[in-house]
Chains A and B, each alone.
Chain A
Amino acid sequence: MGLNRRVWPWWAVLLGLLSLPIVAGYLWLVLSSLSNQMHGLLPTGGWKLQNWRFLWESVGGRPSIWGALSNTLIFAFGVAALEVLISAMTAYAISRLRFPGRGIYLGMILVLHSFPAVSLLIAIFYILRLLGLFDTLIGVILVKAALDIPLGIWVLKGFFDGLSWDMEMAALTDGASRWVIFWRIALPLVRPGLLALGTFALLSAWGEFILPYTLIISNKTWTLSLYLQSLIGAVDLTDYGLLAAVGLFYLLPVVVLFLLGQRYLLDIYGGGSKG
């Protein structure tokens, strides 16, 4: 197809206009995190770094931001690792092995995937309480991973389905067991899928709010999203400058991750496992 040279600047302008509200949002975030007061999108009352004081002191009895950051990192990487590992193993089994109940299992994964997680919250709460995992990071990690794994299985199953059977038969005759084939042949060949799923899982866990909000109480287990939320619903009047600064702080790792991971994300669309 290819866009006409005469027409495309107009498209660019149109698309630019459409994304303006989002750009304005980020602009507001940056500006107000650095200024005394905002009037719309215009900073008034001069610049100040005071909004970033949460970096070196505790704000209004809240725990240190660094604790929340490390909780969030543990949470996000824990979820991503668990999700990729379990999805990969399950997807491989479903794609390659014949076992009783495989069809039913496949169907159930689909149903689970389309289940709204929120409707399960109360049940999850009771189960975690029962297991003694309520108000722990491990508990939320397990729940978040469990809820996202069905999608991961579907995504990776597609990747495994694309691997040639001959290659696996060759590995069997070369002396490999199924387990060895999984780790040494199949996994490396679906690497683009693993990296993409891992990146998605990381981003999704990073932004997760509802689960930590309901399953975590004590503020030493807070994640960044809970920290941020505490600023919005604060008893003291909401400090928008502080809110913007924390919001920006929460956002930065995602931007970094995206810059690092975009090559892999694009890889999925670039197509398959090229040598």
Chain B
Amino acid sequence: MKGSQVRLEGLSKRFGKVEVLRPLDLEVQPGELVAFLGPSGCGKTTTLLLIAGIYQPSSGGIFFDGKQVNSLHPKDRDIGMVFQSYALYPHLNLFENIAFPLRLKRIAQAEVRRRVDQVAEFLGIAQVLFRRPGQVSGGQQQRAALARALVKEPSLLLLDEPLSNLDARIRLSARSEIRRLQQDLGITSVLVTHDQSEALAMADRVAVFSTGQVQQFATPEELYHRPSNTFVAGFVGDPPMNLLQGTFTEGKFDWDGLTIPVPPGHPGGSGYLGVRPEDIRLGGEIPTRLGIAEPLGREVLLSLDLGEGKTLKVLTPAGTRLAPGASLGLELRGAPLHFFDAEGRRVGS
């Protein structure tokens, strides 16, 4: 199957006076899966619907394989889309739902049968094809919606939170299933999600959105290890990165009276020091007191109190039994540190 290349150039959208999407530049390579990650209401769905041609951009351009498609009708864009609500047609059974895009193309009945059966078999819903959407489970509805998007073999697949209505177990298996499918078919895909673990696990590259703007567009590793600003640093990673606000001076970071030695490369002046909870080790010389300990299964998340309202989150292996109020020492030396300037922009590598 072919996958098209998608390029957004200065794409923006306003509804009346409200600017929902600020001018945005982004490129999705053929066969790539890109995730749009961001909190609720930040414009992810709007961007997807712009690409689908359901909304008209207020400015900027959308290009498929280098051709501008701004005014192309959705039906001529060769896209398949899965909606968060699945949006199956309640009056048609699953077979007719999946066959709908093919019927619109006036494909012969025998061919329709063959293709619907094939995709249904592939997605494991062959047994329930002749039931209506209201008579199958949420997971089966999700598969049917995916089947409907895939059956016409589109060159671009748009997925709007396709997994958010599934329970946690199915969600995990559906994740890898969609990813495998997408890679097998080599189909260019955009996945919208507000679940960062989903984005990091499935996508080749992730665009992190906040309030109508892309904060960073990079691979999951890059996002994790080199967040380009404090928003991404705080949003990506679970539990999130510790962000300490203070002042950088020669070789030191002053955090509200506590001095932390830092290597060179920091911005100087006021800014933020970021350190991930899993990078901090216990047993050093920075004195702290244990607030609460949250067992997360394999690990325990500790909230450590450093006095004067300063707290740090630290992730340690489970097994150490610690009483609240216990004194613990911290070690920051050797931990990867992230520097951000006063505006929250990343400084140095």
Contacts and interface: CB of A to CB of B under 8 A. Distances in A.
Interface of A: 164, 166-167, 169-177, 180, 185, 188-189, 191, 273-275
A180 B104 contact: yes
B49 A169 contact: yes
B75 A273 contact: no
A170 B141 CA distance: 14
Contacts of B152: 174-175
A173 B133 CA distance: 19
A176 B104 contact: yes
Nearest to B105: A175
B90 A169 contact: no
A96 B152 CA distance: 27
Nearest to A170: B87
A173 B90 contact: no
A166 B83 contact: yes
Contact of A185 (B52, B53, B89): B89
A274 B134 contact: yes
Contacts of B84: 166
Contacts of A164: 85, 87
17 contacts: A166-B83, A166-B85, A167-B88, A169-B54, A170-B81, A172-B54, A173-B74, A173-B77, A173-B149, A175-B105, A176-B104, A177-B73, A189-B90, A273-B90, A273-B91, A274-B90, A275-B135
B100 interface: yes
A188 B104 contact: no
Given A274-B134, A275-B133, A275-B135, A172 B74 contact: yes
Given A274-B134, A275-B132, A275-B134, A173 B81 contact: yes
B30 interface: no
Contact of A173 (B79, B85, B132, B135): B79
Contact of A275 (B80, B90, B100, B105): B90
Contacts of B75: 172-177
Contacts, number: 72
Interface of B: 49, 52-54, 73-75, 77, 79-81, 83-85, 87-91, 100-101, 104-105, 132-135, 145, 148-149, 152, 158
A177 B53 CA distance: 13
A173 B72 CA distance: 12
Q: Return the 8 tightest CB-CB contacts between A and B, nearest first.
A: A170-B87, A166-B87, A275-B134, A173-B81, A175-B75, A174-B101, A172-B74, A275-B132
A62 B119 CA distance: 68
Contacts of A166: 83-85, 87
Contacts of A175: 74-75, 101, 104-105, 152
Contact of A174 (B85, B90, B104, B134): B104
Nearest to A188: B91
B72 to A, nearest CB: 12
A167 B104 contact: no
A256 to B, nearest CB: 28
A169 B89 CA distance: 11
Residue of B52, B85, B100, B149 contacting most chain A CB atoms (<10 Å)? B100
A181 to B, nearest CB: 10
Contacts of A171: 89, 100
A172 B105 CA distance: 13
Nearest to A274: B134
Nearest to B74: A172
A172 B52 CA distance: 9
A186 to B, nearest CB: 10
Instruction: Kindly name the residue among A170, A171, A188, A275 whose own CB sees the greatest number of chain B CB atoms within 10 A.
Output: A170
A275 B91 contact: yes
A175 B77 CA distance: 9
Residue of A169, A185, A274 with most partner-chain B CB within 10 A: A169
A169 B52 contact: yes
Contacts of B54: 169, 172-173
A274 B135 CA distance: 11
A75 to B, nearest CB: 32
A25 to B, nearest CB: 43
Contacts of A180: 104
Contacts of B145: 170
Contacts of A189: 89-91
A166 B148 CA distance: 14
A98 B83 CA distance: 23
Contacts of A273: 90-91
A170 B133 CA distance: 15
Contacts of B85: 164, 166
A135 B63 CA distance: 61
Contacts of A185: 89
User: Of residues A164, A167, A188, A191, which shows the largest number of chain B Cβ atoms within 10 Å of its Cβ?
Assistant: A167
A173 B49 CA distance: 10
Contacts of A170: 81, 83, 87-88, 145, 148
Nearest to B158: A173
Contacts of B100: 171, 174, 176
Contacts of B74: 172-173, 175
Contacts of B88: 167, 170
A115 B88 CA distance: 41
Contacts of A191: 91
Contacts of B80: 173
Output the residue of B80, B87, B132 with the most chain A CB within 10 A.
B87
A40 B73 CA distance: 72
A101 B79 CA distance: 33
Given A173-B81, A275-B90, 10 more contacts: A170-B145, A172-B54, A172-B75, A173-B54, A175-B105, A175-B152, A273-B91, A274-B90, A275-B91, A275-B134
A168 to B, nearest CB: 8
